[in-house]
């Protein structure tokens, strides 16, 4: 087994845990009478994050891994798994109120997004030397701005715009990835 296969399998386990959490939360969050479309939008965005993160891991196949790169490679999937778990669980105060749940976890959810973005930058530029997958940092800067605004504000209308913007940025990134050779 190559180093890449070893790392890819281990990272894939964390990605699978996060995807499992999101899928488990779909019936409650999407089908509940108390669903909150902003919350559902963030669940979709995290699903896309996981797909892109896993796909971008392919760029590391030629690396000669050391322990610190191996350890650091778990940071993103662990953050995503924690976010997925938080998004998929209903509020303990009002189980059918997904808007309440979103605002219960809002602060640390957006701190998680900022940490995830920092992890992607560190991964691309410090540990791996400007990954091919990160040809333009603009989407990450835009997502960082979304996360910062989400962290600082509890305005419902702003959060509606933030999730739409984040999904748009994520979909453009996904289309760029699919269109590249």
Tens digit of each residue's pLDDT (9 = 90 or more) over 9-24: 888 999 999 999 999 9
In tens, the pLDDT along 10-65 reads 889 999 999 999 999 999 899 988 899 999 999 999 999 998 888 877 777 777 77
- Where does residue 154 rank: exposed (0-12), middle (13-18), buried (19+ CB within 10 A)? exposed
Q: Percent of the chain scored above 90 by pLDDT? A: 49
CA dihedral (136, 142, 144, 147) positive or negative? negative
Q: How many Å is the Cα radius of gyration of the chain?
A: 17
User: Cα separation of 22 and 24, whole Å?
Assistant: 5
pTM metric for this prediction = 0.89
């Amino acid at each position: 087994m190559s180093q890449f296969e070893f790392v890819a399998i281990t990272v894939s386990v964390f990605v699978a845990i996060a995807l499992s959490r999101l899928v488990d939360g779909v019936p409650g969050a999407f089908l509940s009478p108390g669903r909150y479309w902003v919350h559902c939008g963030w669940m979709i965005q995290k699903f896309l994050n996981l797909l892109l993160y896993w796909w971008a891991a392919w760029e590391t196949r030629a690396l000669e891994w050391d322990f610190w790169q191996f350890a650091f490679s778990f940071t993103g999937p662990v953050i995503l798994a924690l976010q997925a778990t938080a998004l998929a669980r209903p509020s303990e105060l009002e189980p059918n109120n997904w808007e309440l749940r979103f605002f219960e976890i809002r602060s640390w959810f957006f701190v998680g997004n900022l940490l995830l973005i920092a992890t992607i930058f560190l991964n691309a530029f410090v540990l791996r030397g400007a990954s091919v997958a990160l040809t333009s940092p603009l989407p990450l800067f835009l997502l960082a701005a979304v996360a910062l605004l989400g962290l600082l504000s509890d305005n419902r209308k702003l959060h509606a715009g933030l999730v739409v913007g984040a999904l748009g940025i994520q979909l453009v990134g996904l289309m760029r990835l699919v269109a590249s050779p």
